[in-house]
Amino acid sequence: MGRSWAAGAMEPRLGLHELVHVFSFLEARDLLCAAQVDKVWNEVSKTKELWRQLCLRRWSSCKDSQITLGTQTWKQYYLCRSELEFRMESGRPEKDFVCKVIAGHKGEIGEVAYISTNEYRFDGQAKSVVCTVSSDGTVRAWDLHEGTEIWSSALQPAALVNLVAYPRLQLVVTVDEQGLIKVWEAENGWESASFCLPTHSSALEACDHTEDPVLLVACANGALYTLTVPRLQLLSRVSVSPNLPTSLLCSPDSQWVFALTQNSDLGPKVFHTRSLLCPSDDVCPVSTTLPIWLTSRACWAPSEAARLVVMHRNENGLQLVVTTCELRAKKSRDGVDILVQQIASFVLPDTMMPPHLMKGHSSQVILLVSGSELVLFTIHGLQLAAFQDHQKRITSMCVDQSRVITSSFDLSLRVYIWNKDNKFPVLKSCYHLLGGSHRWASGFTHVESDSMSIVGMEARSVGTSILRSYYFQVQQG
């Protein structure tokens, strides 16, 4: 009797709360192993909070409210998303993804944009949908998983040249070569509003502010139009660079609009978005001109609310400089002042060809494309990596929190995966996604992606375009 009591004393049993606490220090692999010990451990290992914390730790960039479980548990979500990441890093044809050729436009595709929300959902309800515009005068929606057309608009009076999407509102906005803007319902392709510019547009930018979604339009005459969405009512019109085409960039927090006239002696302008939404006859929109000239490229740091990175020439015009600054609005007696603080600047190497593409990642990393080469720098000028995976010129670059994808005239897409375990994110070159035959195609001209798919625009030799979709499937449910 005494011996049994002693054995029991040496093997105390942990209560359920104590087990949950101990298990909270385990990684997913260890938690799955613990589930094999006995019935009690198996039940404890399924605890919702354990898997919720594992999800938030592994994907720290995601907020709790941004993860859509649907009908799944946190454990199922973790396992499915982990499998998806493995498949996207491996890129084995047929095993990891299915490729679909999507044709239907009779002209050249001008732009492609995802209308489906970029969510990680594994409950069977998610669907990757894109919209395209073409010189054939139609806008169309496509299901990338099935490789089929969902709807097509009626033939428009002129060729469509650009579009932007509002996934949250399920709206698409297009513009034709004459400056006619239209809003379309993404679900069925119904036209809901229109607005006519005095001349053709040089840029469209969707500013999907939660309270006041607007459309920003740069006109070829140098004017910036701000229109409501979805009704396309004019809120403001302001001159940016008279008679010069302008490009636009809206900040990650939608509070700032950067207006750039490439290689102009005029410095680029930054507008406070709120002042464009509430114009006054007596007061001009709040803006400031950055003290730099001959600007060629710019991007926002996606992890920061208002960190702007600009590539421009130095004072003598001989060297390319990359300058990073942060913006802040300060209330004053007269209204709002824009404060610009430079936080970093460096000169690009003389041996590097002038980059034609520029994107930001996190808060510290800049991706530059020069010819067929992809180069990564920190905002202070430290070169992190250089890749020469393409044989011909890179035509576009898609960058998100998980990966980078480049398209090229060599008729391939290159997939890179981020590893964020180090001080600075490390980019790993993984694999090519191949297009069609060079006999019929001249190369990929554009690439976009969401959480489950990649889509490339493939230009054909006869002056038309098709889409190639690569849809990654998860087996676990």
Beta partners for 102?
Answer: 467
Q: Please report the pLDDT score of residue 7 as a whole number.
A: 42
Q: What is the pLDDT of residues 392-426, one digit of tens each?
A: 999 999 999 899 999 999 999 999 999 877 777 89
Confidence of residue 70 (pLDDT cuts 50, 70, 90): low
Q: Look up residue 24 and give its DSSP letter.
A: T
Strand boundaries in 177-279, DSSP class E: 180-185, 191-196, 201-207, 214-219, 223-228, 234-239, 247-250, 256-260, 269-272
Mean pLDDT across the stretch 92-96?
90
**pLDDT at 302 > cutoff 70:** yes
- pLDDT for 22 beyond 50: yes
List phi, psi (to 5°) of 154. Answer: -70, 160
> What are the residues facing 288 on neighbouring strands?
270
77-91, 178-192, 268-282: least confidently modelled range: 268-282
pLDDT band (50, 70, 90) for residue 16: confident
Token output for 441: 């195609």
Q: Which residues contact 280 (CB under 8 A, 6 or more apart)?
A: none
Calpha distance 338→301 (Å, rounded): 18
Tell me how many degrees the CA angle 180-183-189 measures, rounded to the nearest 5: 120
- Give the β-pairing of 214-219 and 201-207: antiparallel
pLDDT at residue number 341: 95
Mean pLDDT value across residues 330-350: 89
> Has residue 477 got a pLDDT over 60?
no
The total of other beta-carbon atoms located within 10 Å of residue 256's CB is 23
Q: 281 falls in which pLDDT band (50, 70, 90)?
A: low
Range with the poorest average pLDDT among 156-160, 237-241, 329-333: 329-333
In this structure, the number of other CB atoms found within 10 A of the CB of residue 203 comes to 20
| pLDDT range class, residue 6, cuts 50, 70, 90 | very low
Average pLDDT over residues 147-155: 96
pLDDT tens digits along 227-263: 999 999 999 999 888 777 789 999 998 999 999 887 6
Q: Judge whether 389 and 355 are in contact, CB under 8 Å.
A: no
pLDDT at residue 56 greater than cutoff 90? no
The residue that leads in pLDDT, 10 or 23, is 23
User: Residue 63: its pLDDT value, please?
Assistant: 55
- Residue 294 CA to residue 287 CA, distance in Å, equals 19
- Burial (CB < 10 A; 0-12, 13-18, 19+), residue 214, is buried
Q: Has residue 145 got a pLDDT over 60?
A: yes
Identify the residue whose tokens are 């530059």. 368
Q: What is the pLDDT of residue 374?
A: 98
Res. 48 pLDDT band, cuts 50 70 90: confident
The CA-to-CA distance between both ends of the chain, in Å, stands at 50
pLDDT at 118: 67
**Whether the predicted pLDDT of 4 surpasses 50:** no
Q: What pLDDT, on a 0 to 100 scale, did the predictor assign at position 45?
A: 86
pLDDT at 68 over 70: no
Highest mean pLDDT among 74-88, 132-146, 283-297: 132-146
Give the mean pLDDT of 119-147.
90
**Largest Cα span, the chain:** 99
Contact by Cβ (8 Å): 138, 160: yes
Percent of the residues in the chain that have a pLDDT greater than 90, as a whole number: 61
Tokens encoding 236: 């403001």
Q: Which residues contact 282 (CB under 8 A, 6 or more apart)?
A: none
Rg of the chain on CA atoms, in Å: 25
Angstrom distance (rounded) from CA 163 to CA 201: 11
Q: How far apart are CA 53 and CA 24, in angstroms?
A: 8
Tell me how crowded residue 111 is: count the other CB atoms within 10 A of its CB: 21
47: its two tokens: 């605890």
Of residues 450 and 124, the one with the higher pLDDT is 450
Pull the structure tokens for residue 438.
């060079």
pLDDT greater at residue 282 or residue 257: 257
Q: Do 54 and 78 contact (CB within 8 A), yes or no?
A: yes
pLDDT band at residue 315, thresholds of 50, 70 and 90? Answer: confident
pLDDT given at position 244: 78
Cis peptide before 355 (omega within 30 of 0): no
